[in-house]
Amino acid sequence: MYLRLAVVVLLAGCVTGCAVRVSPQPEGSAPPTSAPLVGSVATPVVLPTVMVSPSPTRLPPPNTPQRPSATVQVTLAPTLEPPTMTLPAPESPTPTSVDQAPEPSVDAERVIILIRQRYATINQEQAQYSMVERPLIGFSTEGGTLTGYFAGPSLRKMVAAYFGETGRAEEEYYFWEDQLFFLLRIDHLYDRPFGDVVTTAENRFYFTDGRLIRWIDPDRRFVPASASEFREQQNGKLGQSQQLIETLRSPPGDG
C-alpha cells in the first residue's frame, strides 16, 4: 500500500514539475500515524524536450498560369458592289478555225464521217474504174483537161485541170449515186508567168442532198453558212459540176 502511495505521489510530482522522495518503512514497523507525511523536496526533474515538427501546411496547388489573352482587332473591308459591266453587242459571225470549231451536231457529224468513208473507198477502187478523158475548152485561158472514173455506168470521180498564165488549178469531184458529196479544189500560183509554183491553197466543200453543208477555206477555217459567199460557192460548184458531167458524157470531138 505504501508502495502504491509512493507511486501516486511520484506521478503527481512529475506533473507539478517537482519530485517527492518517500522513505520506505522497514518491515514489521507500525503503520504511520495520522501525522502528515513529510516529504523532502528533491531537485526538479528535467523532462527531455521533445521537438515536434509541425506538419507542413498543405497549400492549394498553384493555379496554372494563364496567358494574357491578346485582343485581336479585325477590320472588315466594306462590302463592295460588283461593278456594272456593259458588254458589247455580239459581232456578226466570222469564220472559225478548224482546230477551234464548235462541236458539230450529231447529224452533221454522221454525214461528214460517211463522206470521208466514201472518199476513201473511191480512191482505193479507182484503179478498177473505167476512165474517160475530154479536153476542156472555154473554162480557162490556157485550156484544160477532164478525166472521169466510172464504176459501170455510175460516175464516181471527176478530175478537172485548168491552166493559166499565172497559175493552175485542179478540182476533184466525188459522186455517190449520181450525187456530188465532196469537192477538193487546189490552186497553184506561179512566181512569174508560166513559172514555178510558190503558193498552194486548198478549199474543201462537203455536200449532202444537193446542198453545201461545210466549207473549209485555205486558212483551215470554217466559213459560216450565213456568209454570202457560202451560198455563192454552193450554187457555183453545183452548176459547174453539171457542166463538166455533160462535157464528160459528150461524144469525143464535140468540144
pLDDT digits (tens, 9 = 90+) for 115-130: 999 999 999 999 999 9
d(CA 206, CA 180): 9
User: Band of the pLDDT at 252, cuts 50, 70, 90?
Assistant: confident
Taking the CA atoms of residue 6, residue 8, residue 13 and residue 16 in that order, the dihedral angle to the nearest 10 degrees is -160
Identify the DSSP state of 164: -
Q: What is the pTM of this model?
A: 0.59
* pLDDT of 102 higher than 70: no
User: Band of the pLDDT at 6, cuts 50, 70, 90?
Assistant: very low
- Positive or negative, the Cα torsion across 53, 55, 61, 62? negative
Phi, psi for residue 59 in degrees, rounded to 5: -90, 145
* pLDDT of 86 higher than 50: no
pLDDT at residue number 105? 54
User: Band of the pLDDT at 141, cuts 50, 70, 90?
Assistant: confident
Identify the DSSP state of 246: H
Residue 141 burial (10 A CB sphere; 0-12, 13-18, 19+): exposed
d(CA 93, CA 95): 7
Q: Average pLDDT over the chain, rounded to whole?
A: 74
